[in-house]
Amino acid sequence: MAAVIGGIGISHTPSMGAEYDRGIASPDGFSPRWQPWYDGTRRVEELLERLAPDHLVVIYNDHLNHFDLDNYPTLAIGVGARFRQADEGWGPRDLPDLEGDTRWGLHLTEELIGREFDLTVSQDLTLDHGVFSWLPYVFHRGGDGAGNGNETGGWPVTVTPIAVNMVRQPLPTASRLRSLGRAIRASVEAFTGDDRVVVIATGGMSHQISGARFGMANEDLDRYFLENLPGHLDELVAVPVREYMRLGGTEAAELTLWFTMRAALSQQASAVYSFQTFPAITGCGALVMAEPGALPGTDQGSEAGS
Amino acid sequence: MRAGQAGEAPESAAAAALPPPSLDLDEPGTIEFTAERALAGRALNRFALSLRSPASRAEFLADEPGYLRRFGLSDEEARLVGERDWTGLLRAGGHLQAMLKLAATVGEDLWSIGACNAGCDRDVLIAATPRRVSGVPAPGSPAGGA
């Protein structure tokens, strides 16, 4: 049977993507505000390479780039061979599309709906910075990454994206997103084959990008969350979402997506690495968790909570 | 790794020019996109989300008033768009992520919206961020017993 071998929580923001393109292209490298994010994600990239997943389930939120308010799904799953980049108003970045795996897309849809998660099925889902902004920081592309060389320049792993409504009230509850994680784990284990699956949740950390509180930054909250998520999921789920929004900004509600990732792992899974920084207007953090034995030779837990 | 130490002094100086963010969800600190606003903002958001293609952006820039009429904006909504009154647009039911498409189309960005919302110059806002606050869920809350 297939298995969930690890999970990652990671932030996203449009500027994270733009700063990657600029930082990689510039002889001067990354800007001082973004260098710590680039440095901190080197270890995430290395751990993902060692986890060597065959497939990713990515829990993210769309920012009115694919969906619109005439029909806004609470939960939607992308099923297809290819996921293109959405045009967010500035035109797409120079990045390859992400590949899907329809065996996984169809399987997860059937299993999750069988477990009473009534997902909207999107057959031509385009993905925005919710996925593409952190992606190049943590995944090596084939060849030189620009389509040159012997390989295609594509991403090294296929994905099934699951979009969660963070736009239109009411949002799904924190408890429901925890249940979704458990259902994802059971669904992965029902897949025939020995695929290794990593569940990635992206959103948060503290930030608010409108109103007079624009740019608020609560690094204490971000560190609190990173430290407590691995071992205290139920306690974090019990905190009202509006409390995260009050303390960390309205967009801190996206932290509830990380509950799905944690709940998709076993109780025995442990934190391998975490870090956070605050480049400008979005709290940027990452947490890598692994199931026992998924990372041979790693003293799991030794780098957590940094 | 703890970043954000570099440039601490200029940040603090700039932060002084803006009041600290309040730890509540009231206006004007927060302009929530409520379900009521989502209903009220249907035309505004349909218009703004139409700008997700280069052809539409070019059409809009070539004839703003005509383009807005096609999407059925009221005179008041058209005025808010014309004046790039980002705070007024959010209050009228425009979602931030939709208004961002308009900002991108007219050569502005998130900082323009933020500066309008915070009532300061764009440069002041950029220099003031991150605008640091502190606080975690209270010891009395369920997470406090963790």
What is the DSSP track for A20-38?
A: HHHHHHSTT-S-TTTHHHH
Interchain CB contacts (distance < 8 Å): A and B: 194
- Between CA A127 and CA A87 the distance in angstroms is 9
- Between CA A291 and CA A287 the distance in angstroms is 14
Q: What pLDDT shows up at residue B12?
A: 52
Contact A174, A242 (CB under 8 A): no
Please give the C-alpha separations between residue A187 and each of A2, A114, A172, in angstroms, as whole numbers: 9, 9, 20
DSSP classification of residue A86? P
Tokens matching residue A2? 């297939």
Q: Do A89 and B24 touch (CB under 8 A)?
A: no
- Between CA A19 and CA A30 the distance in angstroms is 7
ipTM score for this prediction? 0.93
Q: What pLDDT shows up at residue A146?
A: 54
- Identify the residue with better confidence: B142 or A215: A215
Contact B128, A279 (CB under 8 A): no
Q: Is residue A39 left, alpha or beta, with left meaning phi > 0 and alpha meaning psi from -120 to 50?
A: alpha
Contact A162, A199 (CB under 8 A): no
Q: Do A213 and B22 touch (CB under 8 A)?
A: yes
Q: Do B49 and A64 touch (CB under 8 A)?
A: yes
One digit per residue, pLDDT tens: chain A, 306 residues?
999 999 999 999 999 999 999 999 999 999 999 999 999 999 999 999 999 999 999 999 999 999 999 999 999 999 999 999 999 999 999 999 999 999 999 999 999 999 999 999 999 999 999 999 999 999 988 765 555 544 567 999 999 999 999 999 999 999 999 999 999 999 999 999 999 999 999 999 999 999 999 999 999 999 999 999 999 999 999 999 999 999 999 999 999 999 999 999 999 999 999 999 999 999 999 999 999 999 987 655 545 444
CB contact residues (below 8 A), chain A span 96-155, against chain B: none
- Between CA A179 and CA B104 the distance in angstroms is 37
- Please say if A207 is a catalytic residue: yes
Tokens matching residue A172? 């799904």
B139 pLDDT band, cuts 50/70/90, is: low
Q: What pLDDT shows up at residue A296?
A: 81
- Between CA B124 and CA B119 the distance in angstroms is 10
Mean pLDDT for the stretch of residues B83-88: 98
- Please say if A140 is a catalytic residue: no
Stretch (H or E) spanning A76: strand A75-78
Q: What pLDDT shows up at residue B1?
A: 35
Predicted TM-score (pTM) of this structure: 0.93
- Between CA B5 and CA A18 the distance in angstroms is 22
- Identify the residue with better confidence: B3 or B76: B76
Interface test with chain B among A210, A235, A254, by most B beta carbons within 10 Å: A210
Q: What pLDDT shows up at residue A236?
A: 97
- Between CA A306 and CA A44 the distance in angstroms is 13
Non-local CB neighbours of A156 within 8 Å, separated by 6+ positions: A139, A140, A141, A142
Q: Quick one: which of A223, A156, A158, A181 has its CA closest to A59?
A: A181
Q: What is the CA radius of gyration of chain A?
A: 18
Q: Do A39 and B1 touch (CB under 8 A)?
A: yes
B46 and chain A in contact, CB less than 8 A: yes
- Between CA A211 and CA B117 the distance in angstroms is 5
Q: Tens digits of per-residue pLDDT, B31-66? A: 999 999 999 999 999 999 999 999 999 999 999 999
Give exposure, B68-107, as e/b (b: 16+ Cβ within 10 Å).
beebebeeebbebbeebebbbbbbbbbbbbbbbbbbbbbe
Catalytic residue among A12, A55, A107, A207: A207
- On the CB side of A106, how many CA atoms lie within 13 Å of its CA? 5
**Distance to chain A for B1, nearest Cα, Å:** 6
Q: Tens digits of per-residue pLDDT, B90-109? A: 999 999 999 999 999 999 99
Q: Quick one: which of A291, A284, A289, A293 has its CA closest to A304?
A: A289
Contact B70, B59 (CB under 8 A): no
- Identify the residue with better confidence: B9 or A296: A296
pLDDT at B20 over 50: yes
A293 and chain B in contact, CB less than 8 A: no
